[in-house]
Chain A
Amino acid sequence: MTLEKFDLIYKDNRCKIKDKEKILSKLKAILGEENVSTKEIDLIAYSKDSTLITLIWRIQGKLAALPDFITWPENNDQIVQTLKLANEEKIPVIPYGEGSGVVGGAIPVYGGIIIDMKKFNKVLEINDKDLTVTVQTGINGMNLERYLNAKGYTCGHIPQSIYMSSVGGWIAHRAAGQFSTKYGKIEDIVLGLEVILPQGEIIELKTIIRAATGPQFDKLFIGGEGTLGIVTKATLKIWPSPEKRELISFAFPTIEDSLEAIRNILRNQIYPAVIRIYDASETVRHFPQVKEAKDKVMAVFVCEGNERLVNLEGIITREKCEDNNGVNCGEEPVEHWFETRFRVTETSLIPPYKIVIDTIEVSVMWEHAAELYHLVLDSVKKVKGILYITAHASHFYPNGVGFYFSFAGVATGGKSNFEFYQECWDVIMDGCVKAGGSIAHHHGIGINRARWMEKEWGKALRSLIDIKNLLDPNNILNPGKTYFPPEKGGAK
């Protein structure tokens, strides 16, 4: 067995499957021979997602976790029957899209059955009058956006992971894209869903523009992280391709100036599609060529849409930046951002030096925005082994902001990489809670934040767990995450 040569990180509380052969033959009867595998080459392929600590494990020849069966359903009935089997046998089921998650949401911590949704990849309908597209949720984000662009539309949801994430993943982890200030986050974009509940019931949350029909059940699944149901179909908003795009950039003396400029832009109901600020440490990393931005905070804006509106948005955006000590840096920094925004090489180049890296996004109301930024930076700098802690902000609202911290460091004093990694996470989560922020803006909870859910939700977490237990009494759907950390859960 080749697998025996690989160390497992999550190896406790694995589900006990008495008769693997029996389950395998039942799965084959449900899904067909070609849609089930227990081959080592497939099990290793689904042992991971894109959580950055797993990159160090990968080069060291360690596996984050190991599933027992991989399945590739082609229709709803196959998912329904698989879930029923999993409930009968009390085997965990882990929905899998493109594996782009960075908080461990798709890692099979207790083993079990992976349901890979890649065969649910069809665009079912574009409705030009309603401006909607209906898709199966396994479709890759970029393949959807490319298809829409060719037909003259955009979904407006462009996360940095778009080339490697699926619509199902966007919905499960409540994603936000780079153009979200104008087009909204995924919860603003989804208008209808089809979901298969943990015990195999198919429900349709019909496509509506808005309704006052009691509690809005759909919101449970947008951010459900694959624990409450498997979303199989979604209707999303689309937009005609923008008529005009204007690129603006300003350098600010301090983070406070930049935040103040943006707060005032949004207060005036101006919504540039893209707004990003980079603190001084990130500005030197991403914009070393911009002389005016040396030691400053760079802000980039993209206004797009109707030409006359874009012109006006441009005027007001510049005005508010100038009012807050901003220095106009022209279009070039934004063009540079467009060229480099997906070309990330650090995740490949850094792990071979055993340097631990990660990014953590949080959100906060304007009142405490600057305080949170400084508190997190100051706390992380005190962690032994830290090399750098920097931040940018890429999601803004009239009422608050999402910060995105990046850290790097090495484990010292006998600590393992994983212990150092968790320490950095805890310090950032703690700073965020102390400053009154929310612990996750758009990556979700998964494994990495699960131990902070009680601090985030307080007593309300109990109600959330009650809902989980009601929908999934056998706790088969993506267990060991979101509500509890892996070490506190396990097979029932």
Chain B
Amino acid sequence: MSIFEQLKKYKYIIPIITNADRDVKRIILKSFRLKKKFFYPQGEYKADVKNLINCMLCLKMCRFDCNSLQGAKTERVAPAYKSLIGYYLSVGKIDPSKEENKDFINLMYECCNCENCKIWCPFDFSVVSLLETVRDDINDKGLTPNYIKEQIEKLNKTHTIEDTNIFKTYEEKVIANVESDGNDDVFYYIGCETMKYPEVVKGNIEILKKAGIKFSTNLDKRWCCGAPLFNTRHLDLAKEYAKQNIDLITGSGAKLVVTDCPGCADTLLNRYEKIGFKSKVKVIHILQLFKQLIEENKLILKNQIPEEFKNVVYHDPCLMSRNLNVISEPREVLKKIPGLNLLEPICNEKYTHCCGYSGTLHWANNDLAVKISQNRVNELIETGANIIVTACPLCELGLEKGIEENNKKKIKIIDLTELIAKVI
């Protein structure tokens, strides 16, 4: 809500206070004057205390759609409770430095970043955006949880969140690496997690080649986009990643970056800008390009979809539908696949539910991440589909855990690229 809107909304209060008796006015004015002294932390802090208070005292419209709460079924992970604990940690009511309070620190990381809460928030923020400011203070106090430190160590060592630089495994995965000659049209920006799905990468490369696009992948020089550094609030390190990635992209001469990972797209597009690095090159999800290629008849979906891949349900990745607003494109591509029957779950498009594997949750509480995934798998299965199709490697990874845990062997999950590959 803008300041103007707020003034308009609360204008009615002015005569109420003006007409109050002297004692009441005195008490209210004192409360206004001393609000920060009473309720804000002393000294230096980064926590967004104002909005933590707004959230923790709110009537909590978001909670019904909070994937963590619906997965865990306990008040402990309710959005407003996380803010309440964030507030108590910030003002020192709960001492973050004490070993006995580790559970309270961990809670600040038990969020899957789906930002469903933002849709329903009367203040228009997401709870994770508040938790991140509490994480800043946790880092500054040297209290970063070990599971977060381990990820940072991996990034420092391999420039990915894997034990080795996963991009350099392309040879063993029989992925063709295309080095840039400095004069490309497109930079195919492969996600770390997509490297775990070689068929998707190979499929994308094949489609780009068939469409006659001059592109490069530069796998020997690739680093992670740095998304985990934003989630864990290591922003100085994130700046190094932003610089490395932007330099690599710029050096390729590409006018367009296409990525197979919504997390990478969101980081390159939105998160870099927040730390002062704006890419001059347009960034899109690769499906947006495929949709365009289909329209221009450069990508022709000519074959009937095999029977076992006929009934598909599309799972909107949170980042793709809410942050990137890429909702219609994957559906338009799916509808062009001959013989395919597209099914929709109850919660779809910008109201999609999370796979559980985004943010810091799967490090802080993997059991909960799996439960969230199970819930989503059940919603997708309810449509009657036997194939879940998505466009995010992290969602694929997350939903696979849910399928495994639910023991629903009847349903499979694949990337949209793999479906396209079956009909070209």
Contact = CB atoms under 8 A, between A and B. Distances in A.
Given A45-B81, A50-B59, A98-B63, A288 B12 contact: yes
Contact of B24 (A96, A119, A288, A387): A387
Interface size class of A (residues with CB under 8 A): 35 or more
Interface stretch (B25-33, B225-233, B279-287): B25-33
Interface in A320-349: 342-345, 347-349
Contacts of B31: 352-355, 410
Nearest to B102: A41
A164 B76 contact: no
Interface string B62-85: 111100001001111010010011
Contacts of A348: 53-58, 123
B76 A42 contact: yes
B152 interface: no
Interface in B88-112: 88, 91, 93-95, 98, 100-101, 103-104, 107
Contacts of B423: none
B237 interface: no
Contacts of A342: 61, 122
A121 B61 CA distance: 18
A131 interface: no
Given A163-B61, A348-B57, A355-B28, A387 B76 contact: no
A333 to B, nearest CB: 15
Interface stretch (B15-23, B132-140, B247-255, B323-331): B15-23
A6 B122 CA distance: 29
A46 interface: yes
A121 B78 CA distance: 16
B94 A2 contact: yes
Nearest to B104: A41
B35 interface: yes
A61 B90 CA distance: 12
Contact of A164 (B39, B56, B63, B70): B63
B8 A288 contact: yes
Interface stretch (A141-149, A241-249, A303-311): A141-149
B28 A285 contact: no
A46 B74 CA distance: 9
Contacts of B88: 61
A491 interface: no
B11 interface: yes
A284 interface: yes
A347 B348 CA distance: 31
A461 interface: no
B23 A385 contact: yes
A55 B93 CA distance: 16
Nearest to A163: B61
B346 A146 contact: yes
A409 interface: yes
Nearest to B30: A354
B362 interface: no
A388 B16 contact: yes
A348 B79 CA distance: 14
A352 B84 contact: no
B36 to A, nearest CB: 9
A141 to B, nearest CB: 8
Given A355-B31, A385-B24, A2 B64 contact: no
B35 A353 contact: yes
B54 A285 contact: no
Contacts of B56: 58-59, 348
Contacts of B20: 387
A39 interface: yes
A72 interface: yes
B73 A72 contact: yes
B197 interface: no
B103 A40 contact: yes
B60 interface: yes
B313 to A, nearest CB: 14
B196 to A, nearest CB: 30
B309 interface: no
Given A50-B59, A59-B53, A354-B27, A2 B100 contact: yes
Contacts of A344: 58-59, 122
Nearest to B94: A2
A207 interface: no
Interface string A360-374: 000000000000000
B409 to A, nearest CB: 23
Interface in A50-69: 50, 55, 58-59, 61
Given A41-B104, A98-B63, A121 B73 contact: yes
A412 B54 contact: no
Nearest to B367: A34
Given A161-B59, A345-B122, A116 B74 contact: yes
Contact of A284 (B12, B38, B76): B12
Contacts of A388: 16
A141 B63 CA distance: 11
Interface residues of B, number: 56
A353 B64 contact: no
B37 to A, nearest CB: 11
B277 interface: no
Nearest to B20: A387
B74 A164 contact: no
A481 interface: no
A198 interface: no
Contacts of A180: none
B24 A409 contact: yes
Contacts of B58: 344-345, 347-348
Interface in B32-47: 32, 35, 38-39
B170 interface: no
Contact of B27 (A96, A408, A412): A412
B64 A345 contact: no
A59 B55 CA distance: 11
Interface string B220-242: 00000000000000000000000
Contact of A116 (B1, B64, B73): B73
B143 to A, nearest CB: 15
Interface string B347-359: 1000000000000
A140 interface: yes
Contacts of A315: none
A408 B24 CA distance: 11
Interface in B280-333: none
Contacts of B17: 387
A99 B58 CA distance: 13
A408 B62 CA distance: 26
A41 B107 contact: yes
A353 B26 CA distance: 12
B28 A412 contact: no
A410 B28 contact: yes
Contact of B78 (A45, A146, A161, A343): A45
A41 B103 contact: yes
Contacts of A18: none
Given A348-B53, A387-B24, A288 B11 contact: yes
B39 A59 contact: yes
A212 interface: no
Contacts of B107: 41
B74 A118 contact: yes
A118 B68 CA distance: 13
A406 to B, nearest CB: 12
Nearest to A413: B23
Contacts of B61: 163-164, 342-343
B345 to A, nearest CB: 9
Interface in A378-413: 384-388, 408-413
Nearest to A285: B12
A21 to B, nearest CB: 18
- Lowest 5 CB-CB distances: which A-B pairs, in order? A118-B73, A45-B75, A343-B122, A142-B64, A163-B61
19 contacts: A41-B85, A42-B75, A46-B75, A59-B57, A61-B93, A98-B63, A141-B64, A163-B61, A284-B12, A343-B61, A344-B58, A347-B59, A348-B54, A348-B55, A348-B57, A349-B10, A353-B28, A354-B38, A385-B24
